[in-house]
Structure 1
Amino acid sequence: MIERRKLLGLGLGVLGASAVGPMAAFAQSKFGPGADPIADLLMKQGDLGSAAEGMPENGLPEAPVPAPQTIHRVSSEPRWVKLHNVHTQEKLEAVYFDKGEYVPDAVQALDKVLRDYRTGDVAPMNPKLYDIMAGLAARTESKSPFQIISGYRSPKTNAMLHARSGEVAKRSLHMDGKAIDLYLEDVSLDRLRTAALDLKLGGVGYYPVSNFVHVDVGAVRRWVGS
């Protein structure tokens, strides 16, 4: 592991009382086979499944959204993301992009927090999702971590949710690590949705009843669900 990318050195930290004390050990750890550095530090809670999970990214489009025509320069400035998994109660704050590239240690730690909490399966999340989240935080001027309803979804979990609800896509982008369902505690849901649409970086689903916004790195489109 490259020294400059040690988690604390790049601003990667686990928040909350459960992280007090062992942080130095976590910062020095490596993510290898059998390693479970975050789970060792954080208290896990039981299955908190709800109808808010598993909402589709293939709903009927409310209206087409044109793809952006301007090519933006990619800044090499550090990018932060803060998130909280509402099912496991894990919290993570990380510099995931630095010196013009994604930071492997941070991205791997984020993958862990965004795992399928039902099965424990971990899969690589598309790092462009973190760019969307960073853009949303900047546009909304939020000071809160993103509350994560659903990140990666295993085929087993997705099949179960699809059988439960016709709104869940049979081949969900969650299964490819390309979608996240989220909300911010200090930003209204409609404002978060507007910010996501303004970014024009992928699909945006609005779920006012279930209280989350779906964002993905698929085609630029939008829809409204329940």
Structure 2
Amino acid sequence: MCENKSTGVTRRSILGAFAATAISAAPFFPGVTAYARGSGDIRKLHFYSGRTGERMNLIYWIDGNYVPESMAEINHFFRDWRNNAVHGIDVRTIDFLAAAHNLLGVNEPYMLLSGYRSPQTNAMLRARSRNVAQNSLHLRGQAADVRLQSRSVSQIARAAESCAAGGVGRYSGSNFVHFDCGANRTWGR
């Protein structure tokens, strides 16, 4: 679960950050503790949900602080769409996704296939597929499955792996990449 600190950030300061940041943030650097460094004064996420049709394009981190309103929006966006259960999404997963997206150099939003999963949803998916873990990090808000139309599974996975920030699963047959903030490991092809 993520911890959000009150930052005193106002909508005006967020708009100021947009105005002051006309170009994309600098690339992220690899390393478990350093993968989110070098991003400048802001970090942002750009997502689309194929399940709900919702879009999200927001700044979630400014000057070393997570923006509570943005984190609440992320938590809602990453909810279990089957039953609308909302859970706090671990900021390490959010930073991991943002870092890989930045490395890919695309403006296209990630398509979110799965973020948080309730125990009921995870059990239902496990009954249908042997590829669903019983103790999935999705259950803790620590994982996301995404795709990009303009990039292959291999390209997305290579960017994620270069961050060395957690688990990266390649699901080429289903055209998505799994990101999680668990142990640094890879699987799939």
Give the TM-score of the pair, scaled to structure 1: 0.69
Determine which structure has the larger helix proportion and give its number.
2
Q: CA deviation at 1:193?
A: 0.8
Other-structure match for 2:146: 182
Deviating 4+ runs (over 6 angstroms): none
- Give CA deviations for 1:103-150 in whole Å, capped at 9, x if unaligned: 110011011011000011000001122211221122110110110000
Map 1:71-220 → 2, pairs under 5 A: 74=37, 77-220=41-184
- Tell me the matched-pair count: 169
Letter in 2 for 1:114: F
Cα distance change of structure 1 residues 124 and 198 upon mapping to structure 2, 3 Å threshold: same
Work out which of the residue numbers 14, 17, 22 in structure 2 matches 1:10.
Answer: 14
Residue 88 of structure 1 aligns to a residue in which SS?
coil
Structure with the greater alpha carbon radius of gyration: 1
Identity of aligned residues (%): 34
Structure 1 stretch 136-145 or stretch 169-178: which is displaced more?
136-145
Gaps of 5+ in 1: 12-66
Residue 204 of structure 1 aligns to a residue in which SS?
strand
RMSD over aligned Cα atoms: 2.3
- Give CA deviations for 1:185-209 in whole Å, capped at 9, x if unaligned: 2222211111111111000000001
Please give the alpha-carbon distance, in whole angstroms, between the structure 1 residues aligned to 2:170 and 2:75.
24
Gaps of 5+ in 2: 1-5, 16-29
Q: CA deviation at 1:9?
A: 5.6
Give the TM-score of the pair, scaled to structure 2: 0.82
